[in-house]
Chain A
Amino acid sequence: MHGSPPNYLTARTTIRSWLFSTDHKRIALLYFASITFFFLIGGLAAVLIRLELVTPAADLVLPDTYNRLFTMHGVIMVWFFLVPSIPTTLGNFVLPLMLAARDLAFPRLNLASWYFYIAGGALTVLALLLGGVDTGWTFYEPYASAFSNGYVTLAVLGIFLSGFSSILTGLNFIVTTHKLRAPGMTWYRLPLFVWSLYSTSVILVLATPVLAMTLLMLVAERVLGIGIFDPALGGDPLLWQHMFWFYSHPAVYIMVLPAIGIVSELVPAFARKQIFGYKFVAWASVAIAAIGFLVWGHHMFVAGQSLYASLVFSFLSYLVAVPSAIKVFNWVATLHKGWIRFDAPMLYAFGFIGLFTIGGLTGLFLAALAIDVHVTDTYFVVAHFHYIMVGGSVSAFFGGLHYWWPKITGRLYPEGWARAAAILMFFGFNLTFFPQFVLGWLGMPRRYDAYPPEFQIWHVLSSAGASTLAVAYAMPLFYFFWSLVWGARAPANPWGATGLEWLTGSPPPARNFERTPIVVRGPYDYVEGQPRPQAENV
């Protein structure tokens, strides 16, 4: 590959050529850089929170500072890291390659969505710099409009803007999947990552506008005094919760469905075997996206909603767990009689399956009405959603990043270091968040900067885990940069995988494929552990 024709990285090199690029691969890299930045800010807040909680007294930061820290952690991590993370980076990069399209359907819209994201992020960071927001990422009413003294409006407008990035990305992915598939690429030949990105996009397009309206209503009340949620102005505080969770529960699936998709790629690629129950895994994504819209009330079991509503929401929450269970069983069954390799991406996939299973099962506790009464708004909830969103989504993100790193950069990362980081991340994660289940069951409420001394030991363990986790997260930052310079050059298909993206160069040329592949079979076709690529004419 030495002295080979220019690829998308080397084709043009000016700063302008990056900032105004409409190439999905370059935009993916723009997103990579920006979400890494936000991950660091959100992570810094987490570090300070965990430091404060080492002792029962509130002795490191002032209570108001603490409240701003957990708000900043939540807002940044949810809207500026987790929601965009996989779709806009790996999804952006890989989706057109998996379909053998030259780009997304609307390349300029793709670039515009990055600018929306950056503008939204800038406003929110400005709110933080000016003095922060103390509402929690949920902006509960009437606190957010009548009692908070932070820069709520600014932060909310930032989130509002970034929502356009979500909507445009979702739209782009949906149209691309419908219209730009290579010849022969039928729906049931699509890689499962595409199915899950498609399901995610549907949620992005349908749910994000509801969030946008809800946020604007908050601004209208806070700035113009129009009574919507504040009972002092004739509003209804529960209306906020209904509208907020109507977006924010599906948002959980925005954050986890792409991760599920990545794992569905990694497991067959490293077990070198056809995935078990392809259609079930594919439709399970769609089912999760659909049922996910009907369970928001499980956040309000003690908030004063009607008992009958609670019964229905509890039942539907159990229902949405079924497709998740189906996925786990199918991944495990895929390993049966495979030719399994344990490269770093697969270690992340294993970690994902374990942590996602625990996260999902503890969701059953919260969906059980009576138990929820005790553990809602405690650390049990905090632990539960971190298992799904950090143990799950972030692990899968790292898994996917290692998997496609050679494709994206044309370099191999150092395998030993990567495996060490994956294992450290798994242990650090469990040490951080498992104690929080115990804390929640003991009754430790969330969003407390001070707590009764009997809880301390679990907080100390959790903080110790958090430092381990911080080291584990820092490691890839170093060896990935190292590999850019000193890493071995990557072949087109380093893993012996079957998808179309492995048929083009590493890194791909600017136009993705020199010749359009003609798809002749489904994804994940292995005979005796030997891959049979989806197309043979390239």
Chain B
Amino acid sequence: MRGFPVWPVEAGHYAGEMDALFIGLVIVTVLTAGFVCFLLIFFAARYRAGHDADRSHTIEKTWRWEVGWTTASLLIFVGLAVWGADLYLRLYRPPKNAVQIFVVGKQWMWKAQHPGGQREINELHVPAGRAIRLVMASQDTIHSFYVPALRVKQDVVPGRYESMWFQADRPGRYHLFCAEYCGTDHARMGGWLTVMAPRAFAGWLRDRGGQQSLAAQGEQLFHAFGCSGCHGPGGTVRAPDLNGVYGGPVALQDGRVVSADERYVRDSILMPKSEVAAGYDPVMPSFAGQVGEDDLAKLVAYVQSLGRKGAG
């Protein structure tokens, strides 16, 4: 046994602000529970049967008290709700320049793919001081990516991308857990988040390097799966040019306008009929069942790189 830990280690990000909110809640709890317990014990002792105490003038206008404590609880509760909501909203708004890492959860491991093509399992190396955005998918059932030291957690629901972001400031090794029950080895589905100083991280990437970048691997798949036959120059079918698509608004056949994020690209590949780009025939075949999550991440990374090229 190793001592009596009472405070989770902290790797930066919103952990500090989160802890402040937690302390606020602890204070409210201790004061309220303390007050209730104090009154219970005080009244119990003072007004116990057989003990002589002044029992005249019992409170008559009870509704004044009712209104009083109802309003007081309501105000405190609304204050806490607003505090918690404000932090939550910021927690879900990633900064623009975040580094994007693809994560796939499956029974019972976490796989990560870095933009440079580096891959790892049950480990995630990230640079300190940089915003990291995880684009996550599950290959089977629901998992949940949880790093207590960052106070962040996100369920990964199969059939769609979920994303979360964080910024770790303190180099070190921190627990990575799966927080959503997922079967036999749920308790063993985890590993470590390693936060490295930026230069050490650059070195780590280099040592791991040698592969092609994720987008470059995606480009090869784009040819291998025959996407380029339609989307490439001189394609046989009239299909949209994917340059500059990513990140922009897309007008759909049914009149809606959606933003072309990674969810849109994913759904375009797996369920092309669900959102058809305006002005085109719905002839794109579905690749569901043919493209696994790992390859999908590469294709998405490639389409993303086209978007940036086109926009830039």
Shortest Cβ distance from B278 into chain A, in angstroms? 25
- With contacts A277-B65, A333-B65 known, is A441 near B88, CB below 8 A? no
Cβ-defined contact, B158 with A142, below 8 A: yes
Shortest Cβ distance from B107 into chain A, in angstroms? 8
Q: For A322, what are the chain B residues with a Cβ–Cβ distance below 8 Å?
A: 70, 73-74, 77
Q: For B152, what are the chain A residues with a Cβ–Cβ distance below 8 Å?
A: 373-374
- Asked if B211 CB lies within 8 Å of chain A CBs, one says no
Q: For B17, what are the chain A residues with a Cβ–Cβ distance below 8 Å?
A: 370
Interface residues on A, range: 35 or more
- Asked if A448 CB lies within 8 Å of chain B CBs, one says yes
Cβ-defined contact, B188 with A450, below 8 A: yes
- Asked if B183 CB lies within 8 Å of chain A CBs, one says yes
Shortest Cβ distance from A250 into chain B, in angstroms? 20
Cβ < 8 Å to B, chain A residues 360-402: 361-362, 364-365, 367-374, 376-378
Cβ-defined contact, B22 with A280, below 8 A: no
Cβ-defined contact, B179 with A452, below 8 A: no
Cβ < 8 Å to B, chain A residues 310-339: 310-311, 314-315, 318-319, 321-322, 325-326, 328-330, 332-333, 335-339
Cβ-defined contact, B182 with A358, below 8 A: no
Q: Which of B1, B5, B157, B187 contacts A451 (CB 8 A)?
A: B187
Cβ-defined contact, B4 with A457, below 8 A: yes
The segment from B24-32, B224-232, B241-249, B293-301 that touches chain A is B24-32
Chain A 127-156 against B: per-residue CB contact (8 Å), 1 yes, 0 no? 000000010100010110011100000000
Cβ-defined contact, A326 with B140, below 8 A: no
Chain A 417-453 against B: per-residue CB contact (8 Å), 1 yes, 0 no? 0000000000000000000001001110111111111
- With contacts A350-B40, A371-B18 known, is A307 near B188, CB below 8 A? no
Considering the complex, give the chain B residue whose CB is closest to the CB of A281.
B66
- With contacts A63-B185, A445-B146 known, is A357 near B32, CB below 8 A? yes
Shortest Cβ distance from A319 into chain B, in angstroms? 7
Cβ-defined contact, A453 with B2, below 8 A: yes
Please indicate which of the listed interface residues B17, B43, B162, B178 has the most CB atoms of chain A within 10 Å of its own CB. B43
Q: How far is the CA of A311 from the CA of B13 in the complex (A)?
A: 22
- Asked if A416 CB lies within 8 Å of chain B CBs, one says no
Please indicate which of the listed interface residues A271, A318, A321 has the most CB atoms of chain B within 10 Å of its own CB. A318
Q: How far is the CA of A303 from the CA of B180 in the complex (A)?
A: 10
Considering the complex, give the chain A residue whose CB is closest to the CB of B148.
A443
Shortest Cβ distance from B106 into chain A, in angstroms? 11
Chain B 48-81 against A: per-residue CB contact (8 Å), 1 yes, 0 no? 1100011100110011011001100110011011
- List 7 A-B pairs, minimum CB-CB distance, nearest first: A443-B148, A231-B159, A368-B84, A369-B88, A370-B87, A335-B43, A448-B187
12 contacts between A and B (CB under 8 A): A142-B140, A310-B88, A319-B77, A326-B66, A332-B43, A339-B55, A353-B40, A358-B29, A358-B33, A370-B88, A372-B84, A441-B22
B residues with CB within 8 A of A: 1-8, 14, 17-18, 21-22, 25, 28-29, 32-33, 36-37, 39-40, 43-44, 47-49, 53-55, 58-59, 62-63, 65-66, 69-70, 73-74, 77-78, 80-81, 83-85, 87-89, 91-92, 107, 140-142, 144, 146, 148-149, 151-155, 157-160, 162, 175, 177-188
A residues with CB within 8 A of B: 58, 63-64, 67, 134, 136, 140, 142-143, 146-148, 231-232, 236-238, 271-273, 276-277, 280, 301-304, 307, 310-311, 314-315, 318-319, 321-322, 325-326, 328-330, 332-333, 335-342, 350, 353-354, 357-358, 361-362, 364-365, 367-374, 376-378, 438, 441-443, 445-457, 460, 528-529
